[in-house]
Amino acid sequence: MHKYLLSIALLAACTQANAQAPVPAVDVQHYTFSITLNDQDDVIKGEADVRLSLCRDVSSITLDLDGKAADDKGMQVLTVTEGKKKLSFTHADDKLIINTAAKSGTNHTYRVTYGGIPADGLIISKNKYGDRTFFGDNWLHRAQKWLPCVDDVADKAGVDFIVTAPAHYSVVANGLKLSEKQNGSNKATHWHEDVPVSTKVMVIGVADFAISTPEFVNTIPVNAYTFKQDKSNGFKAYSCAPEILNFYSQQIGPYAYKKLANVQSKTIFGGMENASNIFYYENSVNDKAIEALVAHEVAHQWFGDAATESDVTDVWLSEGFATYFTHYYHEHKYGIDSLKKRMLIDRAGIFAFEMERMTPVVDKTKEKADITLLNTNSYQKASWVLYMLRHKLGDDKFIKGIRTYYSTYKNGNATTNNFRTIMEKAGGQNLEQFFKQWLYTAGHPKLRISYETDKTNHGVHLHIEQLQKEVYQLSVDIKMGSTNFTANMKDRVLDLNIAAPTEAGELVVDPNFKLLAEYEVLKK
């Protein structure tokens, strides 16, 4: 987003927010974070220029920023200014409240000067070789641990990072590098991202990196940043990224950013999909299954980064999509059997997870900052929902819907209902029940299928019963010998007769693995 003076675009942004949730007061347009790091201690010095617009009249401006704790970690605000005007503020309960009135539709830039030792968010530590490193790790609501910001997935903005650090370090951040200037023993590196992104994926990485020569996908440079000791393995491990980027660009739509860096890091996750610079765990460079991890994180650049969930309870729009499109990429590269194998492994994991925890994919009961939302539901079960939706709509309508969803919400935010509306239009059918039973209902169908041969006409009689509490509307494929049949269930029980197979054989339920269900088959 760009800065507008009482513009139609700003009013539209505020109106759109109102359609999804109560209108926030602040709509951040751009951040410029100037961060100074050193090798003597873990204290950072920061200066943040926060350019924002107001969606309603306010008597004060509130930003998220953790204060100092008992262990002396946290941030301390020194000054807040607007232009040359010094503003009063309070900093308590992890909120920075700037005491200044502002009118709806007006634009302001506030400069926050601050410093301290980050308790989290910016991880200052040593890598496996004992070398000092600095890595942003902001998911979820952890940007505020070291950056004054609106730390909400729905508030997206452009970002500049100007990092001053000892000259032996290299710096990577969102966007493109604009400059790198030596100043005595220090070096200032300036990265600029004008595409709006959420704070959860705004980061810096600072280490003694080895940096590969970029390979271009169309005009997008793709390269690797690894620890120098892992240069050979790391460059090879991340070399699959260009092929993956090209595949998703062709299948889904244009890549939203101007570069893709694949970075060996100290993230607490296996991989973190920071916009245009993905962070992978330290030993990823030796991971034999690295291609799947890269495919997952690159898919996030479309789903989660560019098209972002409006609320964290819709995180399946990020993690489920990245999981499914990893499988989709493997299907493209290795064939349909690879896809089926991966879906079967995920299905077993889903059933095991539901033995321990019975909650829906879209779980509105959890707190927004609860990391337990990252679970088998939001990854594997959500992926299965997309897989079943693909079979329900057919390949052409499914991918048409996916492309429309991405182009509609690229660089914006979407809800589950937004996605459903687009897929209904693309598929030409009502999907309310499909979404209700698979995303908003806990558990999965459990079917008991009994069958016997009808001695009168030599056909087969089937009795199918749903055993779970909720009644699903579903289609289950059945194969018996050379006969293939689809049973469409709308009620708890279905009785039907099928013609006798021309070739005998046992009854096989869901032979192509299209349905997330358990089956009990009984022959009378």
473 located within any domain: yes
* Per-residue pLDDT, 503: 63
Q: Which amino acid is at 127?
A: N
Quick one: which H or E segment has residue 331? helix 316-334
* Per-residue pLDDT, 19: 40
Q: Could you tell me if 363 and 471 lie in one domain?
A: no
Sequence-ordered alpha helix ranges (H) in 394-472: 395-409, 416-427, 432-439
How many Å apart are CA 23 and CA 18, to the nearest integer? 5
359 located within any domain: yes
Q: Residue 488: give its domain's CATH number.
A: 2.60.40.1840
Q: Could you tell me if 388 and 473 lie in one domain?
A: no
Q: Which amino acid is at 14?
A: C
Q: Could you tell me if 461 and 487 lie in one domain?
A: yes
How many Å apart are CA 227 and CA 169, to the nearest integer? 11
Q: What is the distance, to the nearest Å, from the Cα of residue 253 to the centroid of all Cα atoms in its chain?
A: 17
Of 411, 439, 467, the one marking the end of a domain is 439
* Per-residue pLDDT, 506: 81
DSSP labels, 221-265: EEEEEEEGGGHHHHHHHGGGHHHHHHHHHHHT---SSS-EEEEE-
The boundaries of the domain holding residue 454 are 446-523
Sequence-ordered alpha helix ranges (H) in 267-315: 290-300
**Strands 85-86 and 74-82, bridge-based pairing:** antiparallel
Crossing angle for the helix pair 416-427 and 316-334, to the nearest 10 degrees = 40
270 located within any domain: no
* Per-residue pLDDT, 15: 47
* Per-residue pLDDT, 458: 64
How many Å apart are CA 90 and CA 62, to the nearest integer? 10
* Per-residue pLDDT, 14: 60
The three-state secondary structure class of 25 is coil
Please list the rounded mean pLDDT of every run of 10 residues in the chain (524 residues): 32 45 82 98 98 95 95 96 97 97 96 98 97 96 97 96 98 98 96 98 98 97 98 97 98 98 95 97 96 98 97 95 98 96 96 94 71 90 98 98 98 97 98 98 96 70 93 93 89 87 77 95 85
Q: What angle do CA 337, 338, 339 make, to 5 degrees?
A: 90
* Per-residue pLDDT, 502: 59
477 located within any domain: yes
Task: At 277, list the tokens.
Answer: 């610079």
CB neighbour list of residue 325: distance below 8 Å, 6 or more residues apart? 248, 252, 295, 299, 302, 303
430 located within any domain: yes
281 located within any domain: no
Q: Could you tell me if 435 and 316 lie in one domain?
A: yes
With the CA atoms of 24, 26, 30 and 33 taken in that order, what torsion angle do they form, in degrees rounded to the nearest 10?
A: -110
* Per-residue pLDDT, 367: 55
491 located within any domain: yes
How many Å apart are CA 327 and CA 379, to the nearest integer? 12
Q: Could you tell me if 451 and 423 lie in one domain?
A: no
Of 439, 473, 508, the one marking the end of a domain is 439
Q: Could you tell me if 366 and 421 lie in one domain?
A: yes
Query: For the purposes of burial, counting CB atoms within 10 Å of the CB of 369, is it exposed (0-12), middle (13-18) or buried (19 or more)?
Result: exposed
* Per-residue pLDDT, 452: 83
Q: What is the distance, to the nearest Å, from the Cα of residue 29 to the centroid of all Cα atoms in its chain?
A: 21
Q: Could you tell me if 324 and 340 lie in one domain?
A: yes
Q: Residue 399: give its domain's CATH number.
A: 1.10.390.10
Q: Could you tell me if 329 and 417 lie in one domain?
A: yes
* Per-residue pLDDT, 20: 43
How many Å apart are CA 301 and CA 27, to the nearest integer? 22
What b-and-e string marks burial along 245-280, b requiring 16 or more CB atoms within 10 Å of the CB?
Answer: bebbbebbbebbbbbbbbbbbbbeeebbbbbbbbbb
Q: Could you tell me if 399 and 499 lie in one domain?
A: no
* Per-residue pLDDT, 2: 29
Q: Could you tell me if 389 and 496 lie in one domain?
A: no
Task: Please give the tally of structural domains in the chain.
Answer: 2
- Residue 305 CB neighbour total at 10 angstroms: 28
* Per-residue pLDDT, 23: 66
Q: How many CA atoms lie within 13 A of 231 on its CB side?
A: 8
Q: Could you tell me if 407 and 450 lie in one domain?
A: no
302 located within any domain: no
Q: Could you tell me if 319 and 352 lie in one domain?
A: yes
Of 408, 439, 470, the one marking the end of a domain is 439
